[in-house]
Amino acid sequence: MSARRTILCCGAAHLDRRGRTYDAAKLGVSNPGSVFEELGGVAFNVARNLAHLAHPVAMLWARGGDSVAFLLAKAMAELGIADHGVPIPNAKSASYTGILDKSGDLIIALGDMAIYDAVTEDHIEAGWTAAAGVRVLILDANLTEPAIRRAVDLAQRDGVPVIALATSAAKCRRLIPVADKVQTIFMNKVEAETLSGVGAGGDFLTELRAMGIRSAYVTDGPGPIQAYDQTGAASFTPPPVHPIKDVTGAGDAFSSGAARALLDGADLHAVLRAGAAASRIVLQSDEAAPASLTPDALAQTIAAFERTPSQ
C-alpha cells in the first residue's frame, strides 16, 4: 500500500435541510409535510462514506464562525476524520435546503453557499500543508476556479492523483481549467451535458474525451451509468430500488463507492457496480451518509447485482 494513506476530501461541509410533502406537491401553495436537518455537503458526505467504509480520511473545508461549524467539527472528530478546516471567522456556514415530494424525488433546492467563495488559494495551501501524507485528493466544485486550480496544482506537485466531483450543473464548469489534470470526474448526465457543452441529448462522452478528461463516470438516476477510462468504455443499469426513501446523497454515495473501488485497483466494470451499490444503500436510507454503508453491506449489494441481471 502507498505510504500516502489519507484520502483528503476538499470542498463542501454544511447544514442540509430537507422538507418532504405528505401528498403530491402543489406549487404556489402551502404543502403539509415534515422538515429534517442533518450535516452534509458533497465533499463531507463522501468523507463520511469513506470513513464508514474503513478508509483513513481528512477534510479540507471552510470553517465558518457559527454553531454549524462547531457541529461539523464535532462530527468529524466522532468519525475519526482528520479536520483541516480553514477558518473564515466572520462568515456564516453554508446550507442546502431541498424540497422533496412524497416519493422522495427532489422538487427544488436552494444553496446558501457564499462562504465557499471566500476560500482563497492561500487557504487551500494552508490546508494542504496541514494534511501531510495525502494518498488521493477528492475535490468538489463548490470552491472557486482559483481555489480548485491551486488544489490540483499542489496535488500534481506532490504526485497525488485527483478525483473531481462535478457537484451541480451550475458549478461543474469550474472544473474545465483542470479537466485534463485530474484522474477521473464523477458527474450525473445533466452535469456531463453542461460540462461538455453539448447540451441535452448531445454526445457528451465523445466531447469529454476531447476535453482531455482521462476517465469519467456519468449517472442518470435509475437509468444506465456510463463510464470510460483508458482501457475502454462500459455501462451498467442497476436493478430498480423500491422503495426509495430519499435521493439526497445518492450521487455522493456513488462517488464514494466508486472511489473506493478505484483505490483498490478495480477495473471499469467493478467500479461501476461498487458505485451503484453504495448509491443503492443510501437510497434505502433516510440519511445522506448513513452508517449502514459498511464494507460488508457494500460487498453484499455488489454480490446481489451479480445474481440479478441488469435491467
pLDDT tens series, the chain, 311 aa: 344 479 999 999 999 998 999 999 999 999 999 999 999 999 999 999 999 999 999 999 999 999 999 999 999 999 999 999 999 988 999 999 989 898 878 899 898 999 999 999 999 999 999 998 899 999 999 999 999 999 999 999 999 999 999 999 999 999 999 999 999 999 999 999 999 999 999 999 999 999 999 999 999 999 999 999 999 999 999 999 988 888 889 999 999 999 999 999 999 999 999 999 999 999 999 899 999 999 999 999 999 998 765 54
The total number of structural domains that make up the chain: 1
Would you say residue 292 lies in a domain?
A: yes
Query: What sign does the CA torsion over 188, 194, 195, 199 have?
Result: positive
Would you say residue 32 lies in a domain?
A: no
**Torsion angle, CA of 73/78/83/85, rounded to 10 degrees?**
-20
Residue 20: strand pairing partners: 34, 100
Residues 6+ apart with CB under 8 A from 280: 238, 241, 301
Would you say residue 211 lies in a domain?
A: yes
pLDDT of residue 134: 94
Would you say residue 136 lies in a domain?
A: yes
Would you say residue 25 lies in a domain?
A: no
Domain that holds residue 135: 6-13+41-88+117-307
- Please count the helices (runs of H) and the strands (runs of E) in the chain: 9, 15
- What does the alpha-carbon distance between residue 18 and residue 116 come to, in Å, rounded to a whole number? 21
Is residue 91 within 8 A of residue 64, CB to CB? The reply is: yes
Would you say residue 24 lies in a domain?
A: no
Would you say residue 31 lies in a domain?
A: no
CATH label of the domain that carries residue 261: 3.40.1190.20
Would you say residue 98 lies in a domain?
A: no
What phi, psi does 208 have (nearest 5°)?
-60, -40
